[in-house]
Amino acid sequence: MSKLVQPHGGGSLSPLLLPEIERKEELKRAATLRPVPMTSRETSDVIMLAMGAYTPLTGFMGARDWKGVCAEMKTESGLFWPIPITLSATRELAKAIKDDEEVALVDGETGEIMAVMEVSEKYEIDRAFECQHVYRTTDPKHPGVEKVNEQAAVNLGGRVRCLSEGEYPSKYKGLYLRPAESRALFAEKGWSRVAAFQTRNPMHRSHEHLAKIAVEVCDGVFIHQVLGKLKPGDIPAETRTKAIDAMIEGYFVPGTVIQAGYPIEMRYAGPREALIHALIRQNFGCSHLIVGRDHAGVGDYYGPFDAQHVFDTLWPGALETKPLKIDITFYCKKCMGMATAKTCPHGTEHQVNISGTKQREMLSKGEPIPPEFSRPEVVAILREYYAGL
């Protein structure tokens, strides 16, 4: 009997990828259906549905679910869900699609057929309403708001049957773990309390400190990095993986950390995104999500601890996975080690404040990076990447 947290919704995992034996024939049939091109975010969402990371969703949301999720973080059935999962189409295409018609969902960048969808609903959205609730802003410079504003005019809702996970399983072999696989791995290790660490960056000393705090209070840490599309200037997954491996091998007790990746595309929704990160990690079998400073934020749109406070607004039973809230971390020259405001009594003049943005700036300029900031093995890997740009 597994001691891991239950999948979201209280049932079992519901991956929407068809069994391999059925895919070949269904792909042939899908090629005869009306194609609906998808954005990179929508393609990413299809793969999240395919692998079961969006359990218990059965497809893209209809109008009532969209509105409820935006306004109250609830689907029509009362299921907690903090960010709408939607698929858009042009007015011309939506008008041509008949009620309950099956369409082929196509990756707009590669042309690959990713899924078949039975279109049960067509509806237009209030973009400002979605952005104000989900992102807390309608500023078009916010990357999440920009994506919503770029969506086609009409949303299509309906059940989805997935036919592909794209390039991820082969490109990220050994790193790409589905929820069923991570759960099996945790069970094999005898873990029941597992803390997930979300990252889209190579890990510096501050990240390492957060993970080590989690190791102290849980059975293990699941370093789970973003494999979907990132912002310009972000370091690619292959380099991040090498750098994180070097940190794990050199500075963690063997058997306390698992590194993996998943195909989500960041929305930079701050507090709401922290919630969906926790929900997804519940499906992967994690009891906790590490939430530090400005989780999934961008610019100055959110306060440094808004993503921690939002968990306190949830109703009982909304989410089984809990936040592991940790204060801002830094290196203290007087303590001669990593610390937070709760553990270090010294003034700010003794602190080395660490951030991924600052690290990228120093690397791009070829500036020296002190060991208080990042491990030398990690820096060597990142320098090699920047030298090749």
Q: Which residues are catalytic?
A: 200-201
What sign does the CA torsion over 196, 202, 204, 206 have? Answer: negative
> At CA 116, angle to CA 111 and CA 120, rounded to 5?
125
Contacts of 180 (CB under 8 A, 6+ apart): 13, 15, 52
Secondary structure of residue 115 in the 3-state scheme: strand
C-alpha–C-alpha distance, residues 67 and 126, integer Å: 9
DSSP 7: P
Only one residue has tokens 């808004």, namely 306
Secondary structure of residue 162 in the 3-state scheme: strand
C-alpha–C-alpha distance, residues 177 and 260, integer Å: 6
CB crowding 301-318: b at 16 or more within 10 Å, else e: bbeebbbbebbeeeeeeb
Contact assessment for residue 292 and residue 210, using Cβ atoms and an 8 Å cutoff? yes
**Tokens (6 digits) for 313:** 């607004």
Contact assessment for residue 201 and residue 234, using Cβ atoms and an 8 Å cutoff? yes
C-alpha–C-alpha distance, residues 305 and 383, integer Å: 31
* Cα distances (angstroms) measured from residue 4 to each of 56, 165, 278, 328: 17, 26, 14, 29
